[in-house]
Chain A
Amino acid sequence: MSGPSDFQPSNPALKWIERRLPIFGLIHSSFVAYPTPRNLNYWWTFGAILSMMLALQILTGVILAMHYTPHADLAFKSVELIVRDVNYGWLLRNMHAAGASMFFFAVYIHMFRGLYYGSYKEPREVLWILGVIIYLLMMATGFMGYVLPWGQMSFWGATVITNLFSAVPYFGESIVTLLWGGYSVGNPTLNRFFSLHYLLPFVIAGVVVLHIWALHVAGQNNPAGVEAKTEKDTVPFTPYATIKDAFGVACFLIFFAWFIFYMPNYLGDADNYIPANPGVTPAHIVPEWYYLPFYAILRSIPNKLAGVVAMFSAIIILCFLPWLDSARTRSSKYRPLAKQFFWIFVVVCIGLGYLGSQPPEGIYVIAGRILTVCYFAYFLIVLPLLARIETPRPVPNSIADDVLAKNKGRAATAASVVLALVLAGGLFAGSTQNAKAEEGGTTPPAQSWSFSGPFGKYDRGSLQRGLKVYKEVCSACHGLSYVAFRNLADAGGPGYSEAQAAAFASEYKIKDGPNDQGEMFERPGRPADYFPSPFPNEQAARAANGGAAPPDLSLITKARSYKRGFPQFVIDFFSQYQEQGPDYVDAILQGFEDKVPAGVTIPEGSYYNKYFPGHAIKMPKPLSDGQVTFDDGSPATVKQYAHDVTTFLMWAAEPHMEARKRIGMQVFVFLIIFAFLMYFTKRKVWADAH
């Protein structure tokens, strides 16, 4: 963007517009002719990746808002209905939810890149600060978005985060009440969060425009950290940067698709599949992974106000980075000490992230404090000091020299970047797997499930037998309220015909009404009806079951989990292990033992279960051998019942799993071919530039 463009469209109609609104000239000078340093590496493609992610989040978000109901009583259900009933709703929701994580993943790489190559230094201070503002807005948006599904983590996350403001002296309580719109987190809170969650992405988009504007005024930094001086140092943005960015985007999409299609719940928390309950706090409140480092800083300071101040300072300090680091050399490539400290800092941040996910006790607290000190020391001591004592290596004379110097071994760089990204992605995402509240339970044994892995499918026979077990046993106490009878005939389900589903429905009595006389009445079920719940309301369920309401089973296999631990969760990322829930449910059903082991006391009205956290479960042993007879000759054993009913409940929780994995495979094949094409196209285009 150097002065007014001399671009002139040749088409008369465009010429007519251009004279009145020089928009084509603006686009041409900003995205076509714009000179970009020729030595940019793939870390520079994350700007384009982030733009794409922002656009994708806005697009999928606007669509989800068409189907979502921002009401405390309906929000959770409306999200479930999006996933179950809306055409491709599961895809859109997975894209949006995983998209938030990918957005943060990309922004962290973008920020670390800026840190490493000194992209915040004069004359790019404003550019950098605008970036910090975007990051803050992203955090606010992500937090409010996480509240919208109105599950347990949504609710308690909202409670904990809004309570941060109660640390403000004098005005704390009033600020919190103002945020809530009530005496506690409730419907008004949800409504305003929805409104703001819709607004903020557009504010982000606005600041992004400023960010890009500032970028185009100062020019891009580059790995050598020397300014472009002559024509030889730069290439036009299009096609060179465009094609390279497009290749970067294609590779990033492969990583993204892994989550959308194969690991949609890997980054989420099982507790968020339990509807919000203002009366029960989950045992471990853990924010989304992208907040964990700051959460760890918050927790490592034993004073409330100081903790909150430290947490916010950890972000705000980034704004002062251009002045804290006054070294003249930009790129850490030529700063031997700064380079080492940079990598130590990266490890500190990942370490803080890991600690943020662990329970705040013992060694974790001490480690958290040490790393918090390291975090701030990097900015306040290390960087200012290095600027004074470090002797940098000589930087190249020009970008062109830099390119000449390292033209060997280029392809290897690209390959290693891709590999590093995949590994970093796995580790970073993996380090965020939360500690689940399953202390005191024995780890459930891993079962073999027909639906695991990239080609997994439900075993129809198992689904049909499981339905029988649910109907004859579980349904006496547990509802299945998100499953409709019509679903039994859906593709990827138990494989019944529509007539069979209708016949199955008609065996149920459904309450309907009021009729013309104003009375409720019972009628036979129809395919459109949902499985009726055994109790009219939660109080009745509680009263009939010794104080513990039997949970609805529609989502139980996704709402239960257990801690996988390190390094298992990293392996899980690559092996697509997603079956903690089914393993746990299956284990509970088989985990009842009459003989209570020595040292365990089971209170009156509870039963011993080997796999239940704390071992005392309120549910009596539900299944015994011979209780249900199968027509297909499958053994009438508890083991078989547990396996079948768990398979059925997995389908009930994830009815479109088969479509998800099938489409996922198609997308993968496509993306890999596309990435290869992009790579060769990029090479052809760049052949001119070298």
Chain B
Amino acid sequence: MTTASSADHPTRRDFLFVATGAAAAVGAAATVWPLVAQMNPDAATIAAGAPIQVDLTPIAEGQDIKVFWRGKPIYISHRTKKQIEEAQKVPLSSLPDPQPDSARVKSGHDQWLVVIGICTHLGCIPIAHEGNYDGFFCPCHGSQYDSSGRIRQGPAPANLAVPPYAFLSDTKIQIG
């Protein structure tokens, strides 16, 4: 029916239809944008994810604490001499995700390991001071991390992530 007489003025007619269709498509796309964008974190959530400061003085050697930043648990471990040595000694070639210990701590602050406590397998929280490597053990599917938070055994593909952080002084760090 629509094409019955379009042979008369094909160009003008087609142009109009294409223009209307294109305008409708643009309108639909512009409408969808806010409907999807609203799913992203809102301004209050983003503002609440600002950097946090953590005082390290109460953490004794061999102890660790868990703090939350952006809803994620962050392990801050005060490593013992033994743990540091173990972490530094491991041959990189034996690691599934090779990374030297020096790349995972801040130089001059070897005793402090700061990692995001989320298993790189499927997101469970590994338990500190457990497993065979003096580090972390994930109870969900048995991944084991060493005293540098590197994956040593189990299904997890990568080392525990190191969050962005900096030392403000010897006893204070800012995460984020």
Contact = CB atoms under 8 A, between A and B. Distances in A.
Interface stretch (A84-92, A420-428, A435-443): A84-92
Given A84-B43, A85-B43, A681-B17, A674 B24 contact: yes
Given A92-B38, A688-B5, A677 B23 contact: yes
B27 A674 contact: yes
Interface in B1-48: 1-2, 4-5, 13, 16-17, 19-20, 23-24, 26-27, 30, 34-35, 37-40, 42-45, 47-48
A322 interface: no
Nearest to B39: A66
A680 B20 CA distance: 9
A677 B16 CA distance: 7
Contact of A81 (B17, B23, B42, B58): B42
A87 B23 CA distance: 25
Interface string A481-516: 000101000100000000000000000000000001
B1 A236 contact: yes
B42 A684 contact: no
Contact of B38 (A87, A670, A671, A684): A87
* B: interface residue count bin: 20 to 34
A670 B30 CA distance: 11
Interface in B50-74: 50, 58
A674 B23 contact: yes
A528 B19 CA distance: 46
A188 interface: no
Contacts of B37: 87-88
Given A63-B35, A63-B38, A528-B44, A688 B50 contact: no
A66 B27 CA distance: 24
B68 to A, nearest CB: 13
B1 A670 contact: no
A59 interface: yes
B121 to A, nearest CB: 29
Nearest to A91: B34
Nearest to B13: A684
B138 to A, nearest CB: 27
A63 B34 CA distance: 11
B38, B42, B50 — most chain A CB neighbours (10 Å): B38
Given A236-B1, A670-B27, A685-B2, A92 B34 contact: yes
A88 B44 contact: no
A528 B47 contact: yes
Contacts of A321: none
A81, A673, A681 — most chain B CB neighbours (10 Å): A681
Given A527-B50, A688-B2, A87 B20 contact: no
A232 to B, nearest CB: 14
B48 A88 contact: no
A239 interface: yes
Nearest to B5: A688
B20 A681 contact: yes
Interface string A46-68: 00000000000001000100110
Contact of A681 (B16, B26, B39, B40): B16
Contacts of A673: 23
A67 B45 CA distance: 12
Contacts of B48: 528
Contacts of A91: 34
A60 to B, nearest CB: 8
A673 B27 CA distance: 11
A555 interface: no
A59, A91, A516, A528 — most chain B CB neighbours (10 Å): A528
A510 to B, nearest CB: 13
A81 B13 CA distance: 48
A688 B38 contact: no
Contacts of A687: 5
B26, B30, B34, B50 — most chain A CB neighbours (10 Å): B34
A687 B48 CA distance: 60
A558 interface: no
Interface string A72-89: 000000000100111111
Contacts of A527: 47, 50
B42 A678 contact: no
Contacts of A86: 38, 42-43
B7 to A, nearest CB: 12
A504 B17 CA distance: 56
A487 to B, nearest CB: 8
B38 A88 contact: yes
A528 B38 CA distance: 20
Contact of A85 (B2, B35, B44): B44
A168 B90 CA distance: 82
B44 A81 contact: yes
A234 to B, nearest CB: 12
B38 A89 contact: yes
A528 B17 contact: no
22 contacts: A63-B38, A66-B38, A81-B44, A84-B43, A85-B42, A87-B37, A87-B40, A91-B34, A92-B38, A236-B1, A484-B44, A490-B43, A516-B58, A526-B50, A670-B26, A673-B23, A677-B19, A678-B20, A680-B16, A681-B20, A684-B13, A688-B5
What 3 pairs between A and B have smallest CB-CB spacing?
A88-B34, A528-B47, A85-B42
Interface of A: 59, 63, 66-67, 81, 84-89, 91-92, 236, 239, 484, 486, 490, 516, 526-528, 670-671, 673-674, 677-678, 680-681, 684-685, 687-688
Given A85-B43, A528-B48, 5 more contacts: A67-B38, A81-B42, A84-B43, A87-B37, A528-B50
